[in-house]
Chain A
Amino acid sequence: MSDKFFLGPIIVATKKYIDISRDEIERTLNDENGEFDYDWEETVTDELHTEHVVTLKLNISCKGPLMISWSIALKLHQIRIDGIDWHSSYCDPDGNKQHGWHRHRFDPRKQSADSQRWPTNALEQSSGRTDFLIRTLKEMNITLSGVDHGNYNLFSDQRGADPPSE
């Protein structure tokens, strides 16, 4: 099997859709100790108009009250190809000292976005988890479902049992 890292820049630039609502992500963050982990298959088209199906992963970490400790990452083959987080001090690819929120950009040579950090103002004046999700997902070209199906477990047992009698 061959890797799909050659599609990295295309995946990052492509508008991606995940079939989950923001409310559902927030419920998961509340239930799963501030971590969200979601895999989905995305179809992307390369320069030769060939379609490729890739399995992508979205990881969001919102542990603790300090927003600067939160992070979001899009992964291909379990490797970050896009993401946003905060460092008090880092160097951008031009060698300039920077501070604060930055976006991890995919480096085709390293087949990862771990080491290329560019400053981003996507989270300036941002406050709270909802705002963090809206702004970072927009920056990373990820669209969520507008339909929130609510917590089905409240109303019925998805695992096969009958719903509670009225």
Chain B
Amino acid sequence: METTTCSQIREALIRRLSDEIVVSTVMDQCVFSLPIKGLDDRTTDVFVEKMLGESYRVHDAGITTSHLFAQGIHINEHKADLFEEVAKRLGVNYLAGTFEVACKESEIHDAVLAVGQCSAMATVEVASHKPVIEEDPIKTRVQRSLTQWKPRYVREIRRSVTVKGMKARHSFDFVSFPEDADRTNTVAVQVLAPSHSPLAQAERYGFLVLDTEQLSPYGQWKRFAIITKVEEWGNRPLQLVQDLSQETIKLLSGEEESVEKIVPQVMETLSKAA
């Protein structure tokens, strides 16, 4: 290839890179948007922060890790080790989710490119990130098993049934209403996940029970609690739920499938219990 053509390409490349580098200021820091695209289709942002004396801190402000997290890629120990190694090879540090390096004024441009490269390389995980189709949610499973179970003596199984207690309104996830309330029982089913606080969940369930059980017809309803992720509950909240229910089933994580076998048996027993 002719030298002139190569030079022309070089000039065009320089112009392109120059045009694509965007600079802005955020909280007294320069932010350089570099024309290095990550696999998540974004240009890389590199921050330059003046420190004491003549030193500068060049970093990505943790944006790379934060955006990976937002895309479903959580940085575990293995990935953090890899990022540390990538950073080290490019003369950068990976600390607490941030690519960063301290440098002198004369080294800033090298540092900006190195941090930008780290940020772009860290997005490699995006290429292998695929949707995870979960098992059916537990409420879908319970509903399916209730629908399949529904015997002739049950008139209707309703979902999200609101009941008015003495002090507040509450909701049962499912209620099975019999054809003949004198012969078979109404059964209220509540699915309880540990949420952020199992004790708070148990106490809320306790409030539902205590606020409604003195009222007719709710007092005659049989209560069936389905506890998910039982390993996260602890004894006291579990005991509270058990004490306030005629029947409780406890499911470990990964055992949700078994609910479809157990629910019909429990519903049969509770519907016909004295």
Contact = CB atoms under 8 A, between A and B. Distances in A.
A53 to B, nearest CB: 4
A53 B137 contact: yes
A71 B197 contact: no
B196 A24 contact: yes
A165 interface: no
A2 B133 CA distance: 7
Contacts of A157: 234
A80 B66 contact: no
Interface string A57-98: 001010110101111110101111001011111100000000
Contacts of A48: none
B195 A20 contact: yes
A128 to B, nearest CB: 13
A74 B179 CA distance: 43
A140 B194 CA distance: 25
B26 interface: yes
A61 B66 contact: yes
Interface in B36-83: 40-43, 45, 47, 61-63, 65-67, 69-72, 74
Given A63-B96, A64-B62, A71-B69, A88 B195 contact: no
B33 A71 contact: no
B115 interface: no
Contacts of A80: 70-72
Interface in A1-37: 1-3, 5, 19-20, 24, 28, 33-35, 37
Interface in A30-60: 33-35, 37-38, 40-41, 43, 51, 53-55, 59
A68 B198 CA distance: 34
Contacts of B67: 71, 85
**Interface size class for chain A?**
35 or more
B134 A55 contact: yes
Contact of A69 (B62, B134, B198): B62
B162 interface: no
B136 interface: yes
Contacts of B199: 149, 152, 156, 158
Interface residues of B, number: 54
Interface string B198-214: 11100000000000000
Contacts of B198: 158
B132 interface: yes
B244 interface: no
Interface in A139-159: 149, 152, 156-159
Contacts of A63: 62, 65-66, 96-98
A88 B70 contact: no
Contact of A66 (B27, B72, B140): B27
B97 A87 contact: no
29 contacts: A1-B133, A20-B196, A40-B193, A43-B160, A55-B134, A61-B65, A63-B65, A63-B97, A64-B98, A66-B47, A68-B26, A68-B63, A70-B66, A71-B66, A71-B69, A77-B133, A77-B134, A78-B131, A85-B70, A87-B45, A88-B22, A89-B22, A89-B33, A114-B71, A115-B41, A149-B200, A156-B236, A158-B199, A159-B235
